[in-house]
Amino acid sequence: MEANKPSQGLYPLHRCKTIHLVRHAQGIHNVEGEKNHDAYLSEDLFDAHLTPLGWQQVENLRKHVKASGISNRIELVVVSPLLRTLQTAVGTFGGEGYRDGVDAPPLMTAGAGKSDRPAISSLNCPPFIAVESCREHLGVHPCDRRSNITKYRELFPAIDFSLIETDEDVLWKPEIREEDKDIAARGVKFMNWLSTRKEKVIAVVTHSGFLYHTLNSFGNDCVPDVKSEISSHFANCELRSVVLVDKCMNSSYPPVTNYPGKRPSGEDLPSDIADKK
């Protein structure tokens, strides 16, 4: 085998997770920013919500995850706490339409985030948890500044916001834009956090910049085509599935599929070795 040439590999199953990565659907900032990049500096785009086309993209992705069986296997949805990602997450992985009188809070209230959408049920779907560490580049662009968590809890009652420490957005700075290397480092820490979770199949709904810079930290031991599959830019509402391998042994959860087999009193050597003794 040639030195340093990528090869096939094996790793214990219980140290691997399937992660379904999703970039949010089209937001109003995407439309305005494509017309004029300076629009990203506009306060009119604060905590950008989805466009009507964005909601159609969500509907299409929802149909895909149901038809492919992905939605039945997901054990947890992790979502960036910005309006466009929250809308994309609940629209894609949430339950069906919400009905009054049901003894469970909705994932999203009717009309949340300047949408014309009906309420979305939290029944028959995985739990949702909001995490700050998978946010987009922090700072300067108002579209990347989040609303208060108090407001989000009103709009998305069944999403767990308990991991977010402050009601106001203290991470976003008006004059300092997070550097690429810093968002990449934040992304690697986020992936390490995912590896500590007990869930084996997780959906993550996040942002283009976060995905691009985080995923470019991985795949350097792969052939170029595979590296590109991992880390190329995401389109709006694109879903890309990867396997997260816990090489650092962050997780302490034992294997559930392994079976120890017979425990003999002797050495129980293979026959070709025993014959030589």
Number of H helices, E strands in the chain: 9, 5
**Is 96 annotated in the active site?**
no
Helix, coil or strand: residue 77: strand
- The rounded distance, in Å, linking the Cα atoms of 152 and 11 is 40
Helix, coil or strand: residue 194: helix
Helix, coil or strand: residue 196: helix
- Identify the residue whose tokens are 């106001």: 168
Phi, psi of 46 (to 5 degrees): -50, 130
- The rounded distance, in Å, linking the Cα atoms of 219 and 242 is 11
- The rounded distance, in Å, linking the Cα atoms of 67 and 124 is 16
- The rounded distance, in Å, linking the Cα atoms of 225 and 213 is 17
Residues whose CB is less than 8 angstroms from the CB of residue 164 and which lie 6 or more positions away in sequence, other chains included: 81, 130, 131, 132, 149
Burial class from Cβ neighbours inside 10 Å (0-12, 13-18, 19+) for residue 56 reads: middle
**Is 24 annotated in the active site?**
yes
**Tokens found for residue 249:** 């042994």
Q: Pick the catalytic residue: 20, 24, 137, 207?
A: 24
Q: Pick the catalytic residue: 32, 132, 136, 178?
A: 136
Residues noted as catalytic = 24, 136
